[in-house]
Amino acid sequence: MNKQESIAFVWHKIVDEVAVVIKDESMLANFLQTTVLDHNNMGESLGFHLASKLSNQAIPFATLLPLFNEIFTSEQVLYAASRDIQATVDRDSACSVYSTPFLYFKGFLALQAYRVTHQLWNRGNQSLALMLQHSISTHFAVDIHPAAKIGSGILIDHATGLVIGETAVVEDSVSIMQSVTLGGTGKESGDRHPKIRKNVLLGPGAKVLGNIEVAEGSMVAASSVVLKSVPAHSIIAGVPAEVVGKADVDKPSKVMNHYFKS
């Protein structure tokens, strides 16, 4: 599928699923109608959903909604969102339908809100981006700096406690569990955060610190503290982390198997 087809496919899945849920869950009818069915496309729906959640006295809904809607007209941003939803459906055993991450998963929602802040940051609206970062952190318990560079097809599972620093890079098709930190090692300035390459799996509580690379197809085991670069297709574990084996699949992020033999 091309970008437009991918966006349309995911949106139609969401609409069809929500129409079924409304018949079974009458208490959710108003929420589902106003959040999904009242909108013409995924961008409008996602903008409304996030503006409803993140608005506050400093940035009211009437201010946020047109801003979110404008950014979510971008095919690139919406394509990334559609790939993130598909990644969640494909990899998360607790998710079998497209509407669930769109409506309820704070990892997905925080990531899409970050995409708004990233656009604002790149436009030079850095104070507004930081204000929204604060709201995202407060509402979703996910702290992603607007300047960080994050690809698409990203699964952020559970999400609570996730921190991604200013100069971090997360490439496509990465899976990230709860309480992961992609941080610096002190007060140094400049390029100081990790580079996470394609198809990496970051286990729960993993801490990756400094301007180091976790190379493609690697797995960082739960609660590991990574202070040096990780070779491609490696399994790394411990405090401090060391290479303990080779990944038995090319794309650990898609298999989501956290078990390994040392």
Q: Do 126 and 66 reside in the same domain of the chain?
A: yes
- Average pLDDT across the chain, whole number: 96
Burial class (CB in 10 A: 0-12, 13-18, 19+), 243: middle
Q: What is residue 258's predicted lDDT score, i.e. its pLDDT?
A: 87
Strands 234-238 and 241-246: antiparallel
Q: Is the pLDDT of residue 58 over 70?
A: yes
Same domain, 9 and 123: yes
Taking only the tens place, the pLDDT of each residue in 11-21 is: 999 999 999 99
What pLDDT, on a 0 to 100 scale, did the predictor assign at position 142? 98
What's the pLDDT at 161?
A: 98
pLDDT, one tens digit per residue, over 199-210 is 999 999 999 999
The answer to whether residue 47 is domain-embedded is: yes
Q: Are residues 137 and 187 in the same domain?
A: no
Within-domain flag for 20: yes
Domain final residue pick, 75, 107, 142: 142
Edge-to-edge order in the sheet of strand 149-150: 149-150, 169-170, 195-196, 213-214
Average pLDDT, stretch 30-57? 97
Same domain, 130 and 195: no
The arithmetic mean of pLDDT across residues 110-136, rounded, is 98
Give yes or no: residues 69 and 184 share one domain: no
**Per-residue pLDDT, 259:** 80
**Residue 234 counted as domain residue:** yes
**Claim to verify: residue 7 and residue 106 sit in the same structural domain:** yes
Calculate mean pLDDT across residues 153-167: 97
Mean pLDDT of 135-147: 98
Rounded distance between C-alpha atoms, residue 129 and residue 116, angstroms: 8
Residue-level pLDDT at 247: 93
Res 262 pLDDT > 70: no
Question: 259 and 132, same structural domain?
Answer: no
The answer on 134 and 32 residing in a single domain is yes
Query: Are 57 and 70 spatial neighbours (Cβ–Cβ below 8 Å)?
Result: no
Q: Which of 114, 142, 170 is the last residue of a domain?
A: 142
Whether residue 249 has pLDDT greater than 70: yes
Domain containing residue 74? 1-142
Average pLDDT estimate for 150-173: 98
Instruction: Look at residue 150 and tell me if it is in a domain.
Output: no
Q: What is the pLDDT of residue 150?
A: 98
Number of domains in the chain: 2
User: Which residues, 6+ apart, have CB-to-CB distance to 77 below 8 Å?
Assistant: 71, 115, 116, 119
In a domain, 7, yes or no: yes
Same domain, 71 and 177: no
- The one-letter amino acid code at 65 reads L
Report pLDDT for 99. Answer: 98
- Which CATH number fits the domain that encloses residue 196? 2.160.10.10
Residue 152 falls within a domain, yes or no?
no
Residues 77 and 28 placed together within one structural domain of the fold: yes
Domain boundary among 113, 142, 171: 142
- The answer on pLDDT for 36 being more than 90 is yes
* Structural domain includes residue 148: no
235 and 175 together in one domain: yes
Whether residue 153 is contained in a domain is answered as no
User: Half-sphere exposure (CA, 13 Å, Cβ side) for 99?
Assistant: 18
CATH number at residue 119: 1.10.3130.10
Domain shared by 138 and 16, yes or no: yes
Summarize pLDDT for 84-110 with one digit per residue, the tens.
999 999 999 999 999 999 999 999 999
pLDDT tier at 168, thresholds 50, 70, 90: very high
- Per-residue model confidence as pLDDT tens digits over 177-199: 999 999 998 888 899 999 999 99
